[in-house]
């Protein structure tokens, strides 16, 4: 455990749980929320060293953070993850669920094993994280899930992945209505092509260049671009609720 405290009379910060917070969009979101003054639980699945680097970056800047491992497809592990946030920081105000996997193949060629693995992580994992967030978020809180702009782009090879994210959108929009009267917002961020290891893996340069050219700005998004939307929904955007915020530079 790594934490960094402040003066005894310092105001208690808001607390964020960021799943998949060790790299890519999750890391950028954790760093951005910490810069906005939140204490952050950085969730990771397997790369402890990378998660610790995220924590170290936050604490070296004067923030509070702790790295915690959990299998987001395991109900008990997800419950324990949230309990750890409450033990460390006293409660949970923001949940950013970036953890997920992307396996690509034409629908007729995708193995059922890959399809099931992806849906177990992306759909079951989101369901479990959302359930804990709904039970534990304090008034004034925000839950931010992750969809994808591919649900609108209809790119060949993305059918299985887009289907899993369509389920995420459905859960997100319905949960926003189910939390009526709680003063908790529930939204999804839908990034376009973003320069993360998850996106870049296995793609030849010509494919990456072609996809980058889809946006009017003629580049891929950066994780920090997506973190801007996360910070908006986690902080000032109290009148944005039950929405999918497409963050793609105009690519869709």
197-219 burial, b at 16+ Cβ within 10 Å, e below that, comes to eebeeeeeeeeeeebbebbeeee
Instruction: Please choose, from the candidates 193, 105, 114, the residue with its C-alpha nearest in 3D space to the C-alpha of residue 153.
Output: 193
pLDDT digits (tens, 9 = 90+) for 26-80: 999 999 999 999 999 999 998 899 999 999 999 999 999 999 999 999 999 999 9
| Residue 161 a catalytic site member | yes
Domains and CATH numbers, the chain: 15-243 (3.40.50.720)
> Mean pLDDT of all residues in the chain?
93
Residue 124 has pLDDT above 70, yes or no: yes
Specify the pLDDT at position 9. 54
From 161, 212, 220, 245, the catalytic residue: 161
Residue 6 has pLDDT above 70, yes or no: no
pLDDT digits (tens, 9 = 90+) for 154-174: 889 999 999 999 999 999 999
pTM (two decimals): 0.92
Burial of 7 (0-12, 13-18, 19+ CB in 10 A): exposed
Higher local confidence (pLDDT), 11 or 216? 216
Instruction: Please choose, from the candidates 144, 127, 102, 133, the residue with its C-alpha nearest in 3D space to the C-alpha of residue 229.
Output: 144
The answer to whether 220 touches 195, Cβ cutoff 8 Å, is: yes
Q: With pLDDT > 70 as the criterion, what percentage of the chain qualifies?
A: 95
The whole-angstrom separation of Cα 202 and Cα 34 is 32
Q: Residue 19: pLDDT band by 50, 70, 90 thresholds?
A: very high
């Amino acid at each position: 455990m790594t934490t960094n405290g402040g003066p005894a009379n310092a105001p208690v910060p808001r607390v964020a749980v960021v799943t998949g917070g060790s790299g890519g969009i999750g890391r950028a979101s954790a760093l951005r929320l910490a810069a906005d003054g939140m204490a952050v639980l950085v969730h990771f699945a397997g790369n402890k060293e990378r998660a610790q680097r995220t924590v170290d970056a936050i604490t070296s800047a004067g923030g509070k953070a702790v790295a915690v491992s959990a299998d987001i497809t395991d109900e008990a592990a997800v419950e324990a993850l949230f309990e750890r946030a409450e033990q460390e920081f006293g409660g949970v105000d923001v949940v950013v669920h970036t953890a997920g996997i992307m396996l690509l193949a034409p629908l007729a060629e995708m193995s059922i094993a890959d399809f099931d693995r992806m849906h177990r992580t992306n759909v079951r994992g989101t369901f479990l994280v959302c359930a804990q967030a709904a039970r534990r978020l304090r008034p004034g809180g925000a839950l931010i899930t992750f969809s994808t702009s591919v649900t609108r782009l209809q790119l060949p090879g993305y059918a299985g992945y887009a289907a899993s994210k369509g389920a995420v959108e459905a859960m997100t929009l319905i949960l926003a209505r189910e939390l009526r009267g709680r003063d908790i917002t529930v939204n999804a961020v839908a990034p376009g092509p973003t320069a993360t290891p998850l996106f870049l893996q296995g793609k030849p340069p010509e494919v990456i260049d072609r996809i980058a050219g889809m946006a009017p700005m003629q580049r891929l998004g950066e994780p920090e671009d997506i973190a801007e939307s996360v910070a908006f929904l986690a902080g000032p955007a109290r009148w944005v609720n039950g929405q999918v915020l497409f963050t793609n530079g105009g690519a869709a």
